[in-house]
Chain A
Amino acid sequence: MNQRNILIRKLTYVGGMIVMLVCITLVAQPSVHSDPDGKGGSKGGMLAVKREEMKLGQTSLGEIDPASETLKLVTLGLRGVAATFLWDEAIEAKKKQNWEAASAAAQQIIKIEPNFYAVWDFQAHNLSYNISVEFDDYRDRYWWVRKGIDFLILGTRYNDNEPRLTNTIGWYVCNKIGKSDEHVQFRKLFKKDDDFPRNRGIAPEDRDNWLAGFEYYKEAQNQVDRGAILRGKGESLFNSDPPMARINYAMAIEKDGVFGKKAQAAWESAKHEWELFGNRRIATSYGLHVSLGQKEELMREVKRLEAEIDKLVPGIRDELREKKKSDLSKDERTVLAIDVDKLDPEQKSQIADINRLIEPKNDEIVATIQDQAVRDKAVALAGRAVQAANIALVIDSPRGIINWDYWKARCDSEPLPETLEAREALYNADRALQSKANFPEAKKLYERGFEQWDQVLKKFPRIREDSPTADDLAEQIDRYRALLQNEYPKDYQRVFIDNRFVLQDVLELANNTNPDRARAKAASQDKPEPKNKADRKSTEKPTPPTAKTDGSSSEKPAEQPADKTPDASTSKPKEDKPKVDKPRDDKLTDGKLTDGKPGEKSSSKSPATSPGKSDSKLVTPGTDAPPEKQPTKQPEKSSDPPADKA
């Protein structure tokens, strides 16, 4: 090999090296951060730019833990294997009730997999749910719940862009502490928990898990707003978490007996949050971004556009409707002719279908227009109406998932003074009954509470139709009924047997939607009828504290007969059953509650014949029609008609 060849080869090498250096620089040059005043710095090579864009750099994921980085290096690329071994160890330790080892293994796993969401999620759930439940003392359970929450909080330090983690903290703080079997005890412990990060600087009496959870939910929302990607959870549910935390807070403090301005403010905050939620743009599965609170506006727009079409061709809509009506079958016309209040459920469903059938479509109206200019205008209007109606239809899906209408109605109704008063009255009634065995006071408060509730439910019929409120009220109605049965049998006869109880539909809804309740009720009805009063008292459930046993007869109404006849006392449950199950005519419930005076009820079972005097108004008037023929109460028309239509 001569010198020339050697030179060529060397030059080739140098050339190759230069080319490679350029390539490497372009591809892998590291980025340089600029000065605090923005000077200097460079974006780096292609890889650095991509890493920054896709947030793949360790610094963009969150805090860097030196111990974690060291362990990742030490495992020499086998951290997946190491994590698997540790995972197995954690599961084995949990299985063998070696809680410290399980917890230690979880801590080790996150050192080698600090940016893997599933690790944090699974192990935190293990600590807060699976391990905590293994303990018998609720304080130990709380300790482990908190351990899981702390674990998640640690996770957020290493994962800035993972809103699911922050949201999950909110879920644990809200639901594990606020809704588990031990929620009463957990909530108390939470108030005392000085170590919880969000409790610092807050007086114990102002601490609440729902408010702390709300903060985490909000933080998760903010992370998404800052550009973090939300994975694995629908936007509607994710964004409903903050207002739901506020709602649950308001409900929780009311359960704790806090009413008045504090409860009102809590509900106002919940309402405000719900409105913010309603205005928030969220992605739907249809690819559209919508605001859930926009639906009503859209339906008003549809109505307005239809009115404009009607203006272009006055009377056509009615004409078409009448024509369609005349095309109906005889049976359909018969159903249509029935008074709305006398429709049975099947007929109601049928009539809704008929109404949809006979309602003229906009394109049908447009088709009747002869004038081309008018027609073009009408086509444009109809197109806009269809577009608005379609968007409203898209909104319906996420709204259904989160039960929008119900919670919106709750947020609207709960801050009202009458609702607050109703809840306070029932809370105090329960206390008067269960803590003090003060029957007259409890009775009075129950009656006042139920009356108030009836007023509220009339204003907000949507709440009446859903089970959560019904479940709450049903328990209190049961207690009230038991109170009357045991202590005021005459009133019981009048309120529950002779008449339809004012919140009977709520009770029925609770029975229908809660199988356990229905079963318990059926079981209690299957029990043999006790032969005398003493027996009856011991078998009926629920029963109020038996203050009678200590001879507190002074708390009974003086008018009450000393010895109740067996008929009056034993026939009630049997009579109750058919009346509860039969539909009744609620036409008159639109009016005010009766004051229960005998003259206003023409039944021979009227309390007028009863020596027991009561000021109870908890009966629905006009109950002289035979129960078998009385249809169920027609739900009042929603205050949100466009929604029904959509």
Chain B
Amino acid sequence: MVLEDGIPKDFADQLLSALTQFGLIFLLLTLVAFAVGFLVLAIRYGPLPAGDKIYRVLLQMLSDLGGSRLRRIFALARLAVLESIRKRVMIVFVLFSLIMIFAGWFLDTGGYDPGRGYLFFVLWTTKILIWLLAALISALSLPADLKSRTIYTIVTKPVRASEIVLGRILGFGMVGTALLIAMGLLSYLFVVRGVDHTHTIDPEALRDVKGISGKVVAKKGLTSKDHGHEHDVTIDLDKATGYTNVREGHWHEVIANDPKDLSKGYTLSKPLDLLNARVPIYGKLQYLDRQGHEGRGISVGNEWEYRRFIEGNTLAAAIWTFKGVTKANFPPEKFKDGLPIDLSRIDVFRTRKGDIESTVRGSLALRNPKTKVTSHAESFNSKKAYIDHHVIPWKLEREVIKTQAGATKDKSAGPLDLWEDLVDDEGQLEVILKCEENAQFFGVAQPDMYLLADEGSYRVNFFKGYLGLWMQMMLIIGVGVMWSTLLTAPVALLATASTVLLGQQTQFINDALNSILYPTHDKAVWGGGPIESLIRGFTQDNVTSDFKVTGATAIQFMDKILMWLVWLVSKIIPDFKKFDNSHYLIEGFNIPASVWGSQLVDLAGYMILMFLIGYMFLRNREVAA
């Protein structure tokens, strides 16, 4: 799986990072709010009365917040729910159901990896619909009440502004959650049923495969064509079991109906490796260059430099050091065959055609980080497009013993025991990946190899994937309610949409900020700040040329000031992509607690912030005047 931001940290680290970020934002925003408030009030009333007013507002706020009662909040939330139902929000679910029903018409069921395709589709459709719904109900509700003056029926009751804001957020959140649960269930059924299939094998059509002795040892052939594809199948006659090749992201196990009489046919399992929740243990990657020295890996000129490459048939290697290789994590009774290692879609770069019929060969060897005892390198053929499973047996052949002084051929010892010889006393293990073909390259990034510690529940993982969507929905509701306390309906909707749009582009905003505030030669965004780029637009000047107009320095200075303001705003706007866990789900990886846990903390932080801002807006609005 591609993890461009690196391997997720531990939960504690994530939590600390999330709390720190939230604390800083809160502090910053409070300071700015008070500073601006004081400035405005000072101009209107003078500095002392301004201080007095702010003090009173603070007291009032604390009193409001302290006096809020759950009963009233839930009553208001119930009102919001009823209002949403009256506005026929259920139509979104009907629309979603209709899309699911007719999805088969336009979905590419014979896709390269249909599981990914289905998930991508349901997540995308759910996201779009739920975002639209959240923005509409949250941004339009309060302004409509204000306009139609139905708000009087509420504000004339003994309710506080904080309760109104919180009640709305909660109520709309409940409606959205209910819808999202329904959509999630429907999506789950859609995905699971969509990819579910099996094939049949005609035993007569299988051809014999003879071993060295001339005896028939296996049978090979093709499965039936179902779901738009067929598989090559290989059956081991001794074991009366077999397997298919990987097609469209999955494979099937083959079991003889009667192991004693193979003519009775075979049964194929459901698709495997299609809907997974792998629990990986990631290692730390170190590249060796062609001389065997530590290096950074080679760039083969790809625009996307996520993976670095190692040259084949040289001393170049990619070495992962794994921690936590213990019998507690990998109990031999559960991992009977050995240690499961996955290579996840490693890249292959050929500088010559080589053998077209075969993929590039590589090898895997295990090494003790301390004693440098190394196992015999096992050769394999790369699988660039798929996750390549390897199971390293507990007993391995010994290759060489490398001492600090250098390598010496070990002639005495027998086979190696993985636990005894290769894992050090701290539970560390090194796995060495090499490309074995001359002038061919393997490209790898740190998350491309992992120890498959467990296979989590796909259902739970699906739920966790939708949890990300739920968090995004709650953020939009928070943003929508916040703006609705200040602005009229269309403007609030526009402001909500803009906030969400900006929240989607935080990467670009950060790149632009860095490029303008700290210009370097390899900046990500060219063309200068807002004023400079506007002038370049009018003068049709290209973005990389020097900015040569009268007053260029002054313009760039003003741009920097503007960009500092953008920086401030960018810190408040939630990064919506950060809450997106769909790539875990689509790639078939368990969403770790550290990820969704820290997201929940972030969400809580943003919700508190938006609630406070919304409260302040509504508090200072003369609703019943």
Contacts and interface: CB of A to CB of B under 8 A. Distances in A.
A, B bound:
yes
B357 A138 contact: yes
B113 to A, nearest CB: 6
B307 to A, nearest CB: 9
A107 interface: yes
Contact of B360 (A107, A136, A144): A136
Interface stretch (A97-105, A211-219, A369-377): A97-105
A137 B353 contact: no
B359 A137 contact: yes
Contact of B112 (A136, A144, A181): A144
Contacts of B383: 136-137
A98 B117 CA distance: 11
Interface in B109-161: 110-113, 116-117, 120-121
Interface in A132-175: 134-138, 140, 143-144, 147
Contact of A135 (B110, B116, B121, B385): B385
A346 interface: no
A104 B117 contact: yes
Contacts of B228: 195
A181 B353 contact: yes
A268 B517 CA distance: 72
B337 interface: no
A100 B113 contact: yes
A67 interface: yes
B356 A95 contact: no
B261 to A, nearest CB: 31
Nearest to A67: B106
A4 interface: no
A194 B225 CA distance: 10
A244 B499 CA distance: 58
Contact of A138 (B106, B120, B356, B360): B356
B120 A97 contact: no
Interface in B346-404: 347-348, 350, 353, 356-357, 359-360, 382-385
B117 A99 contact: no
Nearest to B349: A136
A104 B304 contact: no
Contact of B111 (A98, A100, A182): A100
A96 interface: yes
Interface residues of A, number: 26
B108 interface: yes
Contacts of A137: 359, 383-385
Contacts of A538: none
A140 B385 contact: yes
A140 B249 CA distance: 11
Contacts, number: 59
Interface in B82-105: 105
Contacts of B111: 100, 103
A272 B112 CA distance: 41
A100 B116 contact: yes
A96 B2 contact: yes
Contacts of B564: none
A185 interface: yes
Contacts of B360: 136
A147 B120 contact: no
Given A95-B303, A96-B2, A185 B385 contact: no
Contacts of A181: 353, 356
A67 B113 CA distance: 24
A151 B121 CA distance: 19
Contacts of A100: 111-113, 116-117, 120
Given A136-B348, A181-B356, A97 B304 contact: yes
Contacts of B304: 95-97
Secondary structure of the B contact surface, majority rule: loop
A135 B303 contact: no
A576 B385 CA distance: 50
A136 to B, nearest CB: 4
Contacts of A194: 225
B306 interface: yes
A273 B351 CA distance: 40
Contact of B357 (A99, A101, A185, A195): A185
Contacts of B382: 136
A108 to B, nearest CB: 10
Contacts of A101: 120
Contacts of B108: 103, 107
Nearest to A95: B304
Interface string B302-313: 011010000000
A324 to B, nearest CB: 59
Interface in A169-225: 181-182, 184-185, 194-195
Nearest to A98: B2
A181 B357 CA distance: 11
B139 to A, nearest CB: 19
A140 B348 CA distance: 14
A510 B112 CA distance: 43
Nearest to A137: B359
Interface in A76-132: 95-101, 103-104, 107
Contacts of A104: 117, 120-121
A134 B110 CA distance: 20
A99 B120 CA distance: 12
B288 to A, nearest CB: 22
Contacts of A95: 303-304
Given A96-B306, A103-B112, A185 B356 contact: yes
A234 to B, nearest CB: 33
B356 A182 contact: yes
Contacts of B350: 136
Contacts of A138: 356-357
Contacts of A185: 356-357
Contacts of B106: 67
A166 B106 CA distance: 22
Contacts of B116: 100
A235 B112 CA distance: 37
Nearest to B113: A100
Nearest to B360: A136
Contact of A147 (B112, B348, B359): B112
Nearest to A144: B112
A181 B350 CA distance: 13
Interface in B324-349: 345, 347-348
Interface in B221-268: 225, 228
Interface in A422-480: none
Interface in A37-67: 67
A590 B92 CA distance: 86
Nearest to A143: B112
Contacts of A140: 112, 384-385
B120 A136 contact: no
Contacts of B113: 100
B382 to A, nearest CB: 6
A136 B306 CA distance: 19
Contacts of A182: 356
A99 B359 contact: no
Nearest to B586: A100
A101 B113 CA distance: 11
Interface string B269-312: 00000000000000000000000000000000001101000000
A99 B112 contact: yes
Contacts of A195: 110, 228
B246 to A, nearest CB: 10
Contacts of A147: 112
9 residue pairs, one from A and one from B, having the closest CB atoms: A136-B384, A136-B348, A136-B359, A95-B304, A100-B116, A140-B385, A182-B356, A96-B304, A137-B359
16 contacts: A95-B303, A95-B304, A96-B2, A97-B2, A97-B345, A97-B347, A98-B2, A99-B112, A100-B116, A107-B108, A136-B348, A136-B359, A136-B385, A137-B384, A185-B356, A195-B228
Given A140-B112, A181-B353, 13 more contacts: A67-B105, A67-B106, A96-B304, A97-B345, A97-B347, A100-B117, A100-B120, A134-B384, A135-B385, A136-B383, A137-B384, A182-B356, A194-B225
